[in-house]
Amino acid sequence: MRPALAALALTLACRSEPARSQPAPPPPAAAAIDVDARGAAWDRAVARLADTRAELAAAWRAADTASARAAIRDRASAALLAAIADELTPAWFGMRWGMGRDSTATRPFAPDQTISCSYFVGAVLGGAGFRLHDRFKLGQAAALRIQQSLVGGRDEVHRFLSIPPADLAARIAELGDGVYVIGLANHAGLVVVRGKDVRFVHANYLGDAVVTSEPLATSPAIAASQPKGYFVSPLITAAGAADDWLIERWLTGAAVGPTS
């Protein structure tokens, strides 16, 4: 890891409530979201992915050549990418952002719960079948620390200086299709890339203050971090390679995430 990454102290993830110029608007009407259906959809997606992981884990244990293991990693990446982008994160859309002891939900729309930005990342990881060392430590860690713990400490965390959000979106698109973790000034979330479509998926503390998916190029939260810059690291990539370390831990059940 480059020294400059460790030196930057401005990637604290949801550690203190960002200042607002005006109060957040009221939450969406309860009737607009069928929370039971969302929870059920989450449960089904989690169960399907668990079955897939069990099948691929057995194949991984039996694989005895590098090419066989590479093929299994590719299948795992494809399954995780589709599940996270199309099933797991959408189940949370519209859930209220919050801070404090009631913001640590592990299931979308849990009663009397909100979700903070880093706990949202942790909940998605947990639902996807990753075994976390400690979800509370992940939820309270600086964004850069979370990112480093998900790439095995390797030099896969990309630092982008104070470029405009539209330029950042273009630079991230160049990394290839996949799901990435992004660390901002006092915020963190996921980025889903499909071709030139680059979306910021996060527990948003601005606007309606709910979990949302929005174009990264026009996201106010991304713009708010421009003076401090951004860190982007691979979570699941369609091209493989960059996510091999994490995929193998998913297959073997080895724990990931911050330990302190």
Q: What percent of the chain has pLDDT over 70?
A: 87
- For helices 66-83 and 244-252, angle between their N-to-C axes, nearest 10 degrees: 90
Lowest mean pLDDT across 10-14, 89-93, 103-107, 184-188? 10-14
Instruction: For the chain, give the mean pLDDT.
Output: 89
What residues contact 258, with CB distance under 8 A and at least 6 apart? 133, 134, 137, 138, 141, 145, 146, 149
Distance CA 139, CA 126 (A): 12
What residues contact 122, with CB distance under 8 A and at least 6 apart? 132, 135, 138, 139, 257
| 49-58 residue pLDDT tens | 999 999 999 9
Distance CA 206, CA 183 (A): 16
Q: What percent of the chain has pLDDT over 90?
A: 82
3-class secondary-structure state, position 17:
coil
32: which DSSP letter? G
Residue 107 has pLDDT above 60, yes or no: yes
- Per-residue confidence (pLDDT) for residue 14, from 0 to 100: 60
| 75-105 residue pLDDT tens | 999 999 999 999 999 999 999 999 999 999 9
Give the pTM: 0.88
Q: How many CB atoms lie within 10 A of CB 162?
A: 11
| 196-230 residue pLDDT tens | 999 999 999 999 999 999 999 999 999 999 999 99
Residue 12 has pLDDT above 50, yes or no: no
Residue 42 has pLDDT above 80, yes or no: yes
Q: What average pLDDT does range 38-65 have in this prediction?
A: 97
